[in-house]
Amino acid sequence: MAAEALKALNSIIAYQQQSEKQQLQQSLALLQFAQAKRANDISIFEKQISYADKSNKQMTLDAADQFLRSSGLQYIADITPTGLDDPDEIKESLTDLSEMLYKKRKGFVGKDSAFTPEKASEIASAIWAWKNAQEPRGIINLATQLDRTVTSLANDGNVSKSDRKNFLAYKAIGSPDIKEASRLATRTEQAQRDILKEMIQFSQGDTEIQSDFGLLSPEVVEEFQSSQQNIVSPQFDLDALANLILKDLSEDTKESAFNLNYTPPKNKFLLRQVNYLPQETQQAEAERLKSITAEQDSLSLLMNEAIEERDELLSQHTDLKEERDKQNKIFKYHREMGNDKEWKEALQKMRALDMELGKKSGYSNVDSPAHEAEAYRLANTWGRNWVGAPQAESYSKSHTNKVFELKEAIQALERERTKFL
């Protein structure tokens, strides 16, 4: 009897030890899972910030270029010399450029198109930095200052005498697109401030994703428990589990149909939200989700094709602009050297490139790089409301518009997919 009791006691102790061991293994597995998930979330956050920063820098360059062209200051940029090293020569050149903007005797400005001397000097310095260092900040500052002036004039008309004079100068030498270009510059500047704020918070560990809060939240535990159902062996392969979670870390961030801060929930997660329904209804819901997901995948393929075709035309447009700038330099060099034949050839090439860039044709060829670039500029300027722009109808056949339409179709399907959440 005593032997049987001792044997039973030993069995109880052994069971408790095994239970404690399994509980420890379970706890370690959960902690490993949570830490790996946190690492994945941080990596995605870093990629999103990096992608947003890179995209906004490119948009800033585009905004600066657009402001120069729409403001009438492209002529000043075209004659701005590059490669000067002597400080006296640089100072003399800057003085000449600024005088062209406020002294009527220089021939560039008239009675209503002369800037104040201070603004002329600021413009000359900004254009110099743009031409010699591809630094857009000075141009962007000019554009945002004009945008603030335009906004003040529209609201209460309360602007300084000098601001009003500079506004009239821009109005006299610029095109109707200058208002749109200055607004785009303001948007890029605000976006850069937002990105910088996020970067600073991230570097200081001051983001929710980097705090201890939420490391073992109910959502993380639920996801961990769900993942166990797919593990055949009772022993946890923690490395395999971590690799499963981190498998997307090496993937490049691509243009998505959704905002950067939205990750579409998986169908399994959505089905768990309706596990209270009868089995037959759950099966019907699974088929519905599967059908919507398949349609989204099909539209995503079409969207990616449209993006590739759009980007190819945008790349061609950039090449055309670079070639135009090159021919402009050749033109100025040979004109200064008195080589009539060479500068006339360069001028002819510049005019042909201007046609391809849409300056003379009005971007009428729907298959041209210029047409696509203008549609893309409108999209970046007007955002989701770009279809309301006066010029939008002309660009409805562009790849940029096709990308917008496909994104909106995918988003509509996503709303349908997640409507019961």
Tell me the mean pLDDT in the region 43-51: 72
- How many Cα atoms are found within 13 Å in the side-chain-facing hemisphere of 174? 24
CA 282, distance to chain mean position in Å, is: 39
DSSP 237: -
pLDDT score for 227: 53
Cα–Cα nearest to 129, from 97, 103, 106: 97
Q: Which residue has the higher pLDDT, 269 or 329?
A: 329
Helix, strand, coil percentages, rounded to 5, for the chain: 75, 0, 25
Orientation of helix 178-203 relative to helix 137-155, angle to 10°: 120
Mapping DSSP to helix (H, G, I), strand (E, B) and coil, where does residue 79 land? helix
Q: What is the average pLDDT value for the chain, to the nearest integer?
A: 75
Q: Which residue has the higher pLDDT, 37 or 232?
A: 37
Distance (Å, whole) CA 198 – CA 136: 22
Whether residue 395 has pLDDT greater than 60: yes
pLDDT band at 236 (very low <50, low <70, confident <90, very high): very low
Whether residue 54 has pLDDT greater than 50: yes
Q: What are phi and psi of 367, to 5 degrees?
A: -100, 5
Distance (Å, whole) CA 122 – CA 137: 12
Q: Rg of the chain's alpha carbons, rounded to an integer? A: 31
Least confident of 51-55, 111-115, 224-228: 224-228
Give every CB contact of residue 118 below 8 A, 6+ residues apart in sequence. 162
Whether residue 7 has pLDDT greater than 70: no
Cα–Cα nearest to 123, from 83, 174, 158, 160: 174
Per-domain residue ranges of the chain: 51-207, 283-421
pLDDT score for 210: 45
pLDDT score for 243: 41
Whether residue 164 has pLDDT greater than 50: yes
Task: Write the single-letter amino acid at 131.
Answer: K
Highest mean pLDDT out of 170-174, 267-271, 273-277, 302-306: 302-306
pLDDT score for 33: 66
CA dihedral sign, ordered 290, 296, 302, 303: negative
Cα–Cα nearest to 59, from 150, 253, 190: 190
Model confidence, pTM: 0.45
Output the CA–CA distances (angstroms, integers) from residue 272 to 155, 266, 282, in the order listed: 52, 10, 9
pLDDT score for 156: 72
Share of the chain above pLDDT 90, in %: 4
> Burial of 188 by CB count in 10 Å (0-12 exposed, 13-18 middle, 19+ buried)?
buried
Tell me the mean pLDDT in the region 307-325: 88
Tell me the mean pLDDT in the region 357-379: 72
Both tokens of 32, joined, read 């490993």
Whether residue 11 has pLDDT greater than 70: no
